[in-house]
Amino acid sequence: MDFGPFLLLALMEGLVTAAVLALTASGLSLVFGIMRVVNVAHGAFFMLGAVLAWFVSQWVPGPAGLSFAVALILCPLIVGAIAAVADTVVLKRLNYEPEATIVATIGLLYIFEQAALSFFGPDARPVPAPLSFRIQLPWFGYSGYKLAVVVGAALVLLMVWLILKHSRAGLIMRATQIDRDTARAFGINVDRVYAGVFAMGAGLAAIAAVLIVPIQQAHYLMGGDPLLLSFIVVIIGGLGSLRGTLVAALIIGLGDGVISTFFAPTLAKIVATLAVGLILVLRPQGLFGKRAA
């Protein structure tokens, strides 16, 4: 196969990575943008989505498409509920102090990983894909499900944008982001908003995990790479900027696909980390972030 088809394949694989990464990183960016919480447990929420998807695939009888549809609806709701409880029980009691919440979310990360190890086990386990058809291009065949992942992620991101920009809930979130004390003075239940935002961020990570787990496999330690890459994307795009997160996810995802195909996956992570260093030196607020006054 010539260079051109190899490059096309690398870009298509990178697009799948970018789509899932955009979903995961947007949840992290949303939590930081509104709550100013650096959520180190975000990778654990990603992992929980994948592990729960495996349990659903075992419990729901019938074709793979049915169990996948149930997992896509049920798993983000369960993970979001877990996140809301964690916010209420842990983060709220710490008054969302930056240093304390970092330590607390690190603790939550280990708690969720050990819980998954206890109930799920140490083995990686496959989840059947709901679609099995392949698209035949002139040079190679490509998984139709992977293209469906890109479309599904784009639809979810569009829904998130509509909620944030064109709904009453989004208006309340933005008001809380600007000044939570003033928002509370106008009768907004800030604690409920924060719990909802934390749940929404975790739910986005869970959706990303459910979409990708038929391509990968569910494992109790699988949240590490998504967490690292999400932080890289959020830093490059700009903390709290959804637009920056999407652009950075596209850059990192496509770069990962090309570098992993032609060189090595480890080199892709090294390049992404170096990109973060350059951004922090040349433009600390990120590509689309706002410079602090």
CA-closest candidate to residue 202, choices 17, 37, 41:
41
Q: What is the DSSP string of 11-57?
A: HHHHHHHHHHHHHHHHHHHHHHHHH----TTHHHHHHHHHHHHHHHH
- Flag whether 117 is in a domain: yes
Q: What is the span of the domain harbouring residue 67? A: 18-220
Give the whole-angstrom CA distance, residue 2 versus residue 61: 44
- Flag whether 10 is in a domain: no
- Flag whether 260 is in a domain: no
Q: What is the pLDDT of residue 290?
A: 66
Does the pTM of the predicted model rise above 0.75? yes
- Flag whether 226 is in a domain: no
- Flag whether 279 is in a domain: no
- Flag whether 98 is in a domain: yes
Q: What is the pLDDT of residue 271?
A: 87
Q: What is the mean pLDDT of each run of 10 residues along the chain (293 residues)?
A: 76 91 93 90 95 92 88 95 95 91 94 93 90 80 88 94 90 87 87 94 96 93 91 85 88 88 82 85 78 54
Q: What is the pLDDT of residue 270?
A: 85
CA-closest candidate to residue 227, choices 249, 244, 205:
205
The number of distinct structural domains making up the chain is 1
